[in-house]
């Protein structure tokens, strides 16, 4: 009995959200796909998928099983890739999507060592704060800063993403330093594309309404207004780490932040037959940032 093959079929069905689509990917008929899934469920003694005439969805048992199956398949493919790495060559055009500010600060300055080490690779780096369709728009991978627990794409965590409340000393000198979360309501709060901040505090999650005199769709405008002393903002340490270290900015209410779920990820369509150029770039960024990225060094988080 091809137990490993059944796991691969199951993973394809979940990713494709369709037995027919999974069959096309694996060059198998929908009847064979259905038979393999039924055989897997019978062997396990649980239902993994809820089937209707219009869609498939995972049961609770199916969700837990899928998470473990993906890990198993990934480990096998990583082992095979390690063996084959001597024969594989890193070459071709690598199309990467990344958020505008993060890409400018933490990808672009580090491209030279990667390109020097991989002279047959060309990087097409597209910076945008829009949530791009990785598959539909033809990207090899995207760097995303988000909670990706529900993502249908493969995601590799590259670095933590700590977001902290901060302000310029000039603002705090005139408006005072808030001592509890309720005091934020009398301060000027600046944000882009957000009406509320959802923060993790000592007693759990809290929501803070943002209602300031500045509205903008640009994160970089918020950053400059923050440094100029306009108000308090919620910023990622990768964006304002140097300013926090130098004293240009000061943390506010340090017991409140965001960072338990959100992280910097590389996302790509599939681990299956992952191209060497994608693997090389993902590994490069992972090694570059690490568990404690350079922008967090020296900060009390």
HSE-up of residue 60 (Cα within 13 Å, Cβ side): 0
pLDDT at residue 117, as a whole number? 94
Q: How far apart are CA 193 and CA 214, in angstroms?
A: 11
Residues of the chain with pLDDT under 70: 1-2, 53-54, 82-88, 149-152, 259-260, 271-273
pLDDT at residue 63, as a whole number? 87
pLDDT at residue 152, as a whole number? 66
Question: Are 80 and 123 contained in the same domain?
Answer: no
Beta bridge partners of 124: 95
Per residue in 25-71, pLDDT (tens digit) is 888 888 888 898 899 889 889 998 887 766 788 888 888 888 888 88
Instruction: Dihedral sign for Cα 145, 149, 154, 158, please.
Output: positive
Last residue of a domain, one of 84, 112, 128: 84
Per residue in 209-222, pLDDT (tens digit) is 998 888 888 899 99
Q: How far apart are CA 299 and CA 262, in angstroms?
A: 18
Angle, CA of 130, 138 and 94, to the nearest 5°? 100
Question: Are 230 and 173 contained in the same domain?
Answer: yes
In a domain, 267, yes or no: yes
Q: How far apart are CA 17 and CA 24, in angstroms?
A: 12
Beta bridge partners of 250: 167
Q: How far apart are CA 123 and CA 127, in angstroms?
A: 12
Beta bridge partners of 144: 265
Number of domains present in the structure of the chain: 3
HSE-up of residue 297 (Cα within 13 Å, Cβ side): 5
Question: Are 64 and 205 contained in the same domain?
Answer: no
Question: Are 199 and 139 contained in the same domain?
Answer: no
In a domain, 114, yes or no: yes
In a domain, 116, yes or no: yes
pLDDT at residue 272, as a whole number? 57
Q: What are residue 181's phi and psi, to 5 degrees?
A: -65, -30
HSE-up of residue 4 (Cα within 13 Å, Cβ side): 7
Which domain covers residue 284, as residue numbers?
A: 92-159+262-296
Question: Are 108 and 168 contained in the same domain?
Answer: no
In a domain, 301, yes or no: no
The first and second tokens of residue 101, run together, are 């500010």
Question: Are 110 and 145 contained in the same domain?
Answer: yes
């Amino acid at each position: 009995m091809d137990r490993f093959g059944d796991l691969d079929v199951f993973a394809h069905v979940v990713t494709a959200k369709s037995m027919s689509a999974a069959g096309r990917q694996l060059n198998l008929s929908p009847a064979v796909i259905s038979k393999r899934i039924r055989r897997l469920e019978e062997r396990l003694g649980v239902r993994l998928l809820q089937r209707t005439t219009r869609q498939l969805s995972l049961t609770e048992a199916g969700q837990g099983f899928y998470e473990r199956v993906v890990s198993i398949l990934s480990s096998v493919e990583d082992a095979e890739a390690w063996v084959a790495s001597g024969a594989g060559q890193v070459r071709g055009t690598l199309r990467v999507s990344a958020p505008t500010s993060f890409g400018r600060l933490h990808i672009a300055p580090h491209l030279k060592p990667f390109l020097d080490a991989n002279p047959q690779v060309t990087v097409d780096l597209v910076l945008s704060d829009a949530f791009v369709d990785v598959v539909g728009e033809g990207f090899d991978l995207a760097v995303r800063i988000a909670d990706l627990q529900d993502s249908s794409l493969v995601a590799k965590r590259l670095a933590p993403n700590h977001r902290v409340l901060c302000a310029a000393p000039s603002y705090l000198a005139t408006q005072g330093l808030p001592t509890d979360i309720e005091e934020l309501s009398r301060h000027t709060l600046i944000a882009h594309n957000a009406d509320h901040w959802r923060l993790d505090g000592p007693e759990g999650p809290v929501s803070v309404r943002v209602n300031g005199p500045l509205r903008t769709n640009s994160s970089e405008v918020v950053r400059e207004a923050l440094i100029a002393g306009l108000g308090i903002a919620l910023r990622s340490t990768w964006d304002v780490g140097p300013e926090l270290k130098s004293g240009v900015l000061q943390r506010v209410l340090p017991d409140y932040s965001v960072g338990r779920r959100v992280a910097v990820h590389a996302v790509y369509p599939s681990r299956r037959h992952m191209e060497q150029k994608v693997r090389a770039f993902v590994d490069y960024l992972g090694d570059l940032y690490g568990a404690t990225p350079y922008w967090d060094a020296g900060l009390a988080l």
